[in-house]
Amino acid sequence: MIRNRSYKNRIALVISLFIAVYATIFSRLVYYGTIESPEKRFVSQQVSVNRPQILDRNGKILAMDIKAYSLYAEPRRITDIDEVAEKVNRIIPQLSLKTLYDRLSSPSDFIWLARQLTPAVKNKLMMAGIPGIGFRPELKRFYPAGRTTSHIIGLTNIDNSGVAGLEKWLDGQGIADLRNAGLANAESFAPIVTSIDIRVQHVLHHELSRALVEYGAAGVGGVILDIKSGEIIALASLPDFDPHFPTEAHLPDRLNRVTASASEMGSIIKTFTTAMAVEFAGADLTTIYDATNPIRVGNQFVRDYFGKKRPLTLEEVFLYSSNIGSAHEALSVGVEAHRGFLLETGLLKRLQLELPEIAKPMEPRNWTPPTSITAAFGHGFATTPLQTAVGIGGVLNNGILVAPTLLKRASLDELPATRIVSEKASAILRHLYRLSAVKGSGRRANIAGLRVGGKTGTAEKVIDGRYAKNRNFNVFAAAMPMDDPAFVYLIIVDDPAPKSETRGQTAGLTAAPLAGEIIRKTFSFLNLTP
């Protein structure tokens, strides 16, 4: 009987202990959930905020995580605010004494003082023996190429979340969800291999930087595209920004002019007009278009910049960049077919790419014969330089347009490709591009031995709703080698300083020689031999 009572007492004791343990756990959970500040609990945990490395096509690092430390304080544990403020200010002078005093006087249990400090600064603070402060280890994004790749890679915010460029795109591919679930550690991701060749990118960025100053331009930009694979080898836009200083990226002139800005592209659009005439109207190099007289459109006249005032062959229309001849080419095809072809080549549709900063093309609500006439020589609709380069690549690549990408393609066997013109039309345009680089406005981009082809485009900018006679948007597209083009270079010079009060700089004088210099310094990296 006594043994049985002792057994029951032990069972009761065990039950009581279990109840006490679970009651303690429950009370602590309630305390953490309702009393202790969430920031303080966050500091006590090791929260993974890793991101994958971003590499160029040859394995060079373009973005990576590095260790950093954030400084916090617990004001209620600080007895001498002045002492703490003075010691922190001596080590981090960017934090003023007033700012520190105001923050340390807070009634809160927890406050941030500084984010993303270097290990060296953290060590100095620790050696100073300052009471009431602590550190939270975290990760900071580092960009070895800095400004050179800023419009491609983008940047992250102070919490290591992507806010622009590939960094923002990556978060949209599921990285943000893994981070929020606490699963984004260093082993979670394989490196992201881009299509960019950092050697070519450095040359492009350097030459654009020089041209920005030399031409006194509002902006410059360029893209180098492998038209066989659709891979973007280099892309830059200036003015740019330092991704380590995020406030720079928000300045209004720092937009990516290659992808995030739609503009009238001028005579470079004659590439598509000519291809369309060959494809749909049965034209060839000897087809005649009467460019004797201007064409009346409403109250305006379509004229040639250097008019020959005579009938021109299709070859001459392209070589002399005749607006009148191009208008006749478009009229021979018809309005519906014209717009349909521009849709097919991607000029009127928003481009799909691994960048959030993609502008939507602009076009008239209703297409009419006057719309088609002006669109024939690159006026009346706006598109981005990148999709112009992609479309030109499709025309010259035996008529096959390959969708562009900023990621290195693992295989070239099954590419996202579309035929936009026949091989015959492509062959004619390759001939015309080479002719323009030898005898036409693209002569300043011709490099001996490389069989460069090219087409200029000079569009008057719209200022206050009207075309400004001496304010130009200059474009030059080059391709090489023209017997079987592999690469397209497209260069823009936005609003170069005018040569006089009435005459602006043209693409043949700015974008073409700039493209030639970039080609001369990059062709060897692309495995091209003169």
Q: CA–CA separation, 431 vs 461, rounded Å?
A: 30
Cβ of 509: how many Cβ atoms within 10 Å? 19
Residue 446 neighbours by CB under 8 Å, 6+ apart:
437, 438, 452, 454, 516
Pairing type for strands 232-238 and 219-226 reads: antiparallel
Q: Which two tokens stand for residue 524?
A: 């060897």
Q: How many CA atoms lie within 13 A of 63 on its CB side?
A: 33
Q: Which two tokens stand for residue 211?
A: 């041209």
3-state helix, strand, coil in the chain (%, to 5): 40, 20, 35
Cα separations in angstroms, 413 against 230, 240, 410: 13, 36, 9
- DSSP, collapsed to helix, strand or coil, labels residue 486 as coil
Can 267 be counted among the known catalytic residues?
A: yes
Per the residue annotation, which of 229, 263, 267, 436 is the catalytic one?
Answer: 267
Contact indicator for 85, 221 with CB cutoff of 8 Å: no
Cβ of 310: how many Cβ atoms within 10 Å? 9
Q: CA–CA separation, 297 vs 161, rounded Å?
A: 52
Closest to 278 in 3D by CA, of 477, 397, 426, 457: 426
Q: CA–CA separation, 516 vs 386, rounded Å?
A: 19
Main-chain dihedrals φ then ψ at residue 307, nearest 5 degrees: -70, 140
Cα separations in angstroms, 268 against 240, 296, 357: 25, 22, 23
Contact indicator for 253, 218 with CB cutoff of 8 Å: yes
**Catalytic residue list:** 267
